Amino acid sequence: MPKKKSRPQKRRRRSIIAFEMVRLNRTAKEPLHEQLYRQIRDELKAGRFSDGSSRLPSSRALAVDRGISRSTVRLALSKLHAEGYLRSKPGSGTFVATLLPESFLTADQPKGYQPIQRPARISDRAKAIPDRRVGSQFDLGATGAGPGVSLVASIPAVDEFPIAIWERLRAQVLTKKGVNLLRYSSNRGDIDLRKAFAAYLCDFRAARCHPDQIVIVAGMQQAMLISAMAVLNPGETAWIEDPCYQQTRRVLTLAGVKIIPKPIDEHGIVIARSRQEPLPRMIYVTPSHQFPLGVTMSFQRRTELLDFASAHNTFIFEDDYDAEFRFVGPPLPSLQGIDNANRVIYAGTVSKILCPSLRLGYIVAPEQLVDSFVKIRSAMDQHSSPTEQATLARFITEGFFLSHIKRMRKLYAERRDFFIKQFNELLGDHFTLQVPEAGLNIVAWLKREEDFQMIKRITSEIGVRPSALSFFCIQAKLKPAFVFGFAAWTLTQIRQSLVKLASALRNYPRDLNHGRQSR
Ligand SMILES: Cc1ncc(COP(=O)(O)O)c(C=O)c1O
């Protein structure tokens, strides 16, 4: 059969879009080119012109038609081009893209999708992390200090953070370093920041370190996790203080470490151990002032601890989270500064000095551990934000860091004195304050143990929310007490909170007080 002669293909009609729907409002805040871009984009997204043959009018025609300048039209069209809504054909004009960008971005909803409800298998590691909270309670963050809640422990006065200075320095580093701040960066951390921290620690914390020993981390928790993962195998033992910073217990559990809680006496952590007790591979301490009891580790205990670590090839993790805020006498040198045997992993954070949301801190590692720390960090999340690190480096080198510490120490000293005086006047019948030399918290011991449940109930109801000391205890059986924070509240707020607590205690029906202690 003779082949059918193929007909010459008819030239497809190129319809020019009129864009009659475009309505531009000259008095609106939104610039005209943005309005034009948005309205054309929405029209294209609606799908009426996506057969690949719709041509756009020339920018001159569109400008004349809409009574706007050609540069306004060009701005709108170039954005549509850049996002993939339009394509140019040299010599023929501008056309609507055959496939709009949405088609590459939006996944199809699977039809007839029926989710199967089955409880997820959760790892033992996740289950082992001690925490009673569930679901959305985690969203309150570590402290649960929302608006209207006061005297929560460990909260710094973030409203004093010098936002304007920070923003200025941030803009400066972005201008100076530009795209270099947008790339993946050093796993050890910004070199300028490491130099700045090394200088600060040698000058003020009597540390002995150089910048190559410093690894910048996302706060103390990460410092602990990296250190534990580097020096302990799962199942090996770490000593921690009891009572202790609750995140230490959680983080070490996450690292698979066997925790042995050690009591605290008036010198700090108790080193004595029974023969059966396995030797620790790491000992976590807060020597500047113990969290939460506030004891400053004595010089004698410091040397005993270092000798123990050296004799048993153990590392000491020194958490120096808020040593800057001392109110009585000069600080003792850090353990790191008096360690001759490279046993101390020293770590600090800006959470108390500046604000916790920055998630920045540092580890000063014994030289032989640095590479392993960096390796673990690189496998974890690579590094902290280069922009925030560079900004902090400037903040320190230009003197703002030290000046902020001095200003905050003075402010906290004033708030602390006021808190102690008011507390003793208003609540002295119920509590005995144990005033520490440093820090943002004060422990208040109950005069009558049987009041514990009542006070716990009241504090949770009225939003004046110290933590029960028992919350931080693992095995320690201490007398009932509450840990109050004073740093984040003004004198007026402190007074109001204490008056509220005193009056709630006065008016609370005693017959509801069935005094058994619970956590
Ligand atoms: C003992 C101790 N270490 C460290 C921190 C802060 O840790 P991060 O740097 O993870 O915020 C706190 C906060 O309350 C603390 O109490």
Q: Which residue ranges have their beta carbon within 6 Å of ligand 1? A: 154, 219-221, 245, 286, 291, 319, 321, 349, 351, 356, 361
Q: Contact at 8 Å (CB) between 419 and 494?
A: yes
Q: Contact at 8 Å (CB) between 91 and 126?
A: no
- Tell the residue nearest (CA) to atom 7 of ligand 1: 220
Dihedral sign for Cα 496, 498, 501, 503, please: negative
- Give the Å distance between the CA of 81 and the centre of ligand 1: 49
**pLDDT confidence of 144, banded at 50, 70, 90?**
low
- Tell the residue nearest (CA) to atom 3 of ligand 1: 321
Q: Which contacts qualify for 455-460: CB closer than 8 Å, 24 or more apart?
A: 455/430, 455/482, 455/505, 456/518, 458/501, 458/504, 458/505, 458/508, 459/501
pLDDT digits (tens, 9 = 90+) for 96-138: 998 999 888 888 888 888 888 888 899 999 999 988 777 776 6
pLDDT digits (tens, 9 = 90+) for 8-34: 444 445 567 878 888 999 999 999 999
- Tell the residue nearest (CA) to atom 16 of ligand 1: 245
- Give the Å distance between the CA of 139 and the centre of ligand 1: 18
Q: How many residues does the chain have?
A: 519
Other C-beta atoms within 10 Å of 506: how many?
10
Residue 2's φ and ψ, nearest 5 degrees, are: -65, 140
**pLDDT confidence of 515, banded at 50, 70, 90?**
very low
- Give the Å distance between the CA of 97 and the centre of ligand 1: 54
- Tell the residue nearest (CA) to atom 14 of ligand 1: 154
Nearest CA to 381 out of 193, 185, 173, 228 is that of 185
Instruction: Report the DSSP pairing between strands 361-364 and 431-434.
Output: unpaired
Provide the β-strand partners of residue 442.
484
| Spatial separation of the C-alpha atoms in residues 114 and 501, rounded to whole Å | 52
**Listed range (10-19, 31-40, 43-52, 320-329) with the worst mean pLDDT:** 10-19
Q: Which two tokens stand for residue 466?
A: 């110290």
DSSP characters for 201-258? HHHHS-----GGGEEEESSHHHHHHHHHHHH--TT-EEEEEES--HHHHHHHHHTTPE
Nearest CA to 332 out of 307, 308, 301, 353 is that of 301
Mean pLDDT of the chain: 91
What is the pLDDT at residue 14? 55
